């Protein structure tokens, strides 16, 4: 049976950003790369363990999405995106 995994990129990016918040990983230029490291590590482990034939990764578009139009209070309590996440 073929396997398909669909990933919510920003949910994973936030997860890994905050997982390393107390001791962030930094590149030689001093940029916080914790979210990138965690995301790529997760993706590699998923592919190695599950061996899917297909993987889809969804990113929310800049400036909001249809959820904001359907529900005005969508993410109303979430603060601004942290500086280490673009």
**Residue 53 in tokens:** 């034939």
Global pTM? 0.78
CA distance 18 to 82: 10
Which pLDDT score is estimated for 73? 83
Which pLDDT score is estimated for 86? 57
Q: Which residues contact 84 (CB under 8 A, 6 or more apart)?
A: 17, 24, 31, 32, 34, 35
pLDDT tens track, the chain, 86 positions: 899 999 999 899 999 999 999 999 999 999 999 999 999 999 999 999 999 999 999 988 777 677 778 887 877 787 777 776 75
Phi, psi of 43 (to 5 degrees): -60, -45
Reduced 3-state DSSP string for the chain: CCCEEEEEHHHHHHHHHHHCCCCCCECCCCCECHHHHHHHHHHHHHHHHHCCCEEEEECCCCCCCHHHHHCCCCCCCCCCCCCCCC
């Amino acid at each position: 049976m073929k396997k398909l995994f669909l990933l919510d990129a920003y949910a994973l990016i936030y997860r890994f950003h905050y997982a390393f918040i107390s001791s962030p990983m930094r590149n030689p230029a001093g940029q916080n790369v914790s979210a990138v490291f965690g995301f790529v590590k997760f993706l590699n482990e998923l592919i190695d363990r599950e061996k899917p034939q297909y993987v889809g990764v969804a990113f929310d578009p800049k400036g909001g999405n249809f959820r904001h139009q359907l529900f005005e209070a969508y993410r109303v309590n979430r603060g601004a995106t942290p500086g280490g996440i673009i």
